[in-house]
Amino acid sequence: MSVTPVSFTLNDLPLRDDLRGRSPYGAPQIDVPVVLNTNENPHPPSERLARALADAVAATAAGLNRYPDRDAVRLRQGLADYLGHGLTTANVWAANGSNEVLQQILQAFGGPGRTAMGFEPSYSMHPIISRGTGTAWASVPRTADFRVDVDAALAAIAEHRPSVVFLTSPNNPTGTALSVADTARIAAAAPGVVVVDEAYAEFRREGTPSALELLADHPRLVVSRTMSKAFALAGARVGYLAAHPAVVEALQLVRLPYHLSAVTQTVALVALDHADELLGAVADLRAERDSLVGWLRGHGFAVADSDANFVLFGEFEDRSAVWRALLDRDVLIREVGPPGWLRVTVGTARETAVFRDTLLAVTGR
Ligand SMILES: *Cc1c(COP(=O)(O)O)cnc(C)c1O
């Protein structure tokens, strides 16, 4: 007897009704020369840094018979120092990517009978993690230029009384940043926790502030960050948040014991020690982003202002055809966001140049 008889599918399993018919989240992982679809930093660690990481992992390997520090204290201390703003270890929590941080937030503050809210188009993992934790999802549309309409937000908050509100700034997939004043108005009105997902914070333009500034006055505000984007460490899976210590205590009630492996903690600490090198390309990527926005507009495309390391552009009658034609020429971007738009990650100067040439070739501009 085969252990995988063909007649048996996941629908024959006692799968939760709300999961039936769903597909796993994730951009296609296709091995082509120019990969600009998941907002990674295009620069791998230097040989020197790769060596430092390997040496530290080797030292950690000698103690892998023991569980890691359950509270990741040294790492949280390092992350607090990196963030500044007077934050301490007690204000910071870390997990395997900010997606796990967000899931822990929903495990602690969401759940059956509760609602999470977001302003869409935005990061599609927010509703997916909400539903995965049994939390209802309330979607409020952004304006035509992808801003959060704060009056509409306050009305929706009054109507739905969400336990968790997601604000993404800079927003994915549009690149739009939110002002501190608007964030403060929403934080003051929301009855539950307000999560500002700042995965792209390091890429924001000069003069665009971070919600970290508001933490001291808003004890239910949470700012989440990640080492996956600017920090060029997507493969290590390290995300974190800053908040009032009470929020961190709440997350400790739902986190799995030893969720952050000793190897992960070591790698993240070495990365923090080399923050200058890892973040070294951020200025170049921002400049490359600004010039790509200008170039696309110069060629007649609609482009959303971006404070991130990607650009949302359009509008195409058949965006799937454009996405496919680019892929046929070895350039992988992302079909995401409002209909008619596509998102491209800012890569190296060479990758971005290949993208520009290929886009002209496939659109005939
Ligand atoms: C990429 C991204 C994340 C990061 O996820 P990790 O789990 O930290 O890799 C979080 N939020 C947004 C909006 C993102 O685009």
| 99 torsion bin: left (phi>0), alpha (psi -120 to 50), beta (else) | alpha
* Residue 124 Cα to ligand 1 middle (Å): 10
Query: What are the structural domain ranges in the chain?
Result: 26-41+277-363, 47-273
Pairing mode, strands 239-243 and 302-303 = unpaired
Which residue has a Cα nearest atom 7 of ligand 1?
97
Asked if 173 contacts 312 with a C-beta cutoff of 8 angstroms, the reply is yes
Supply the mean pLDDT for the chain. 96
| CATH numeric code, 47-273 | 3.40.640.10
Q: For 91-150, what is each residue's pLDDT tens digit? A: 999 999 999 999 999 999 999 999 999 999 999 999 999 999 999 999 999 999 999 999
Q: What per-residue confidence (pLDDT) applies to 2?
A: 65
Q: What per-residue confidence (pLDDT) applies to 4?
A: 74
For ligand 1, which residues put their CB under 6 angstroms from it? 39, 97-99, 123, 168, 172, 197, 199, 226, 228-229, 234, 239
Average pLDDT, stretch 75-89?
98
Position 36 pLDDT exceeds 70 = yes
Which residue has a Cα nearest atom 11 of ligand 1?
199
| Fold match between domain 26-41+277-363 and domain 47-273 | no
Where does the pLDDT of residue 27 fall: very low under 50, low under 70, confident under 90, or very high at 90 and above? confident
* Residue 167 Cα to ligand 1 middle (Å): 13
Average pLDDT, stretch 239-256?
98
Q: Rounded distance, CA 290 to CA 300, Å?
A: 16
Sheet holding 302-303, edge to edge: 302-303, 310-314, 342-345
Which residue has a Cα nearest atom 14 of ligand 1?
199
Average pLDDT, stretch 217-227?
98
For domain 26-41+277-363, give the fold: Aspartate Aminotransferase, domain 1 (3.90.1150)
Of the residues 172, 174, 312, which should be mutated to test ligand 1's pocket, given the most ligand atoms within 8 Å of the CB?
Answer: 172
| Lowest mean pLDDT, pick from 1-10, 169-178, 193-202, 212-221 | 1-10
Contacts of 284 (CB under 8 A, 6+ apart): 349
Q: How many helices (H) and strands (E) does the chain have?
A: 12, 12
